[in-house]
Amino acid sequence: MGLLSAGVWLAATALLAWPQGLKEGDLAPDFTLPDQDEVNHTLSDYRGQKLLVYFYPKDDTPGCTKEACGLRDAYADYEAANIAILGISYDTPGSHRKFREKHNLPFTLLSDSKKVVAELYGTRGIYPLAIRRSFLINEEGYIVKIIKDVDVTTHSQDVLQHFRESAPQP
């Protein structure tokens, strides 16, 4: 087997073995992670409220900062719609604290330094960074939308629009 064909075989094998992740309609897997202040948060504690769980690669990088600041700027709309926000990356609580303070972020950032939750949610990348992906979870804990192709410039408004569209009509 030549070098090129061996590389293609390895890549194909890795893709076949890669977890397919969650689907819309699945119950969101429960987890507990520390926040920027090293206080633990458990997903099931958010039942009864809509929730955006967004995975992002790294604190204080251009795309991640743009995404977080967009959520910050729309935060009043999230509060009005009773939507909590949890951002998750592999960064430490200390890194999250600095990032949050620097950009005046009003929502919680969780540290998945062991990559356990990223594995559960199918966002563990082959690089040392999480895959950027968002999970919109309803009041009962079910995933109503997975955004795989996140546009950091419109993400905050895209999430709000998805929640509006999935809301029961009177």
CA distance 137 to 50: 6
- CATH of the domain spanning 22-166, picked from 3.40.720.10, 1.10.1040.10, 3.90.78.10, 3.40.30.10: 3.40.30.10
- Does the structure show a pLDDT above 70 at 7? no
**Cα radius of gyration (the chain):** 17
H helices of 18-168, in order, are: 62-73, 75-80, 93-102, 116-121, 155-166
Told to judge if 69 belongs to the known catalytic residues of this protein, a careful annotator would answer no
pLDDT score of 5: 38
Summarize pLDDT for 87-124 with one digit per residue, the tens: 999 999 999 999 999 999 999 999 999 999 999 999 98
The domain spans of the chain are 22-166
pLDDT score of 15: 39
Q: Find the mean pLDDT for residues 33-57.
A: 97
Q: Terminal CA-to-CA distance of the chain, rounded, Å?
A: 63
CA distance 145 to 166: 9
The label of the residue with tokens 């202040």 reads: 37
CA distance 102 to 29: 31
* Catalytic residue from among 33, 51, 64, 86: 64
Q: Which two tokens stand for residue 165?
A: 């569209």
Q: Which residues contact 100 (CB under 8 A, 6 or more apart)?
A: 36, 109
Helix or strand holding residue 9 (H, E): helix 3-17
Neighbours of 38 (CB within 10 A): 12
pLDDT score of 140: 96
Summarize pLDDT for 55-88 with one digit per residue, the tens: 999 999 999 999 999 999 999 999 999 999 999 9
DSSP β-ladder status, 32-34 and 40-42: antiparallel
pLDDT score of 167: 67
Q: Which residues contact 169 (CB under 8 A, 6 or more apart)?
A: none
The helix/strand/coil state of 83 is: strand
- Does the structure show a pLDDT above 70 at 6? no
How sure is the predictor about 170, in pLDDT bands with cuts at 50, 70 and 90?
low
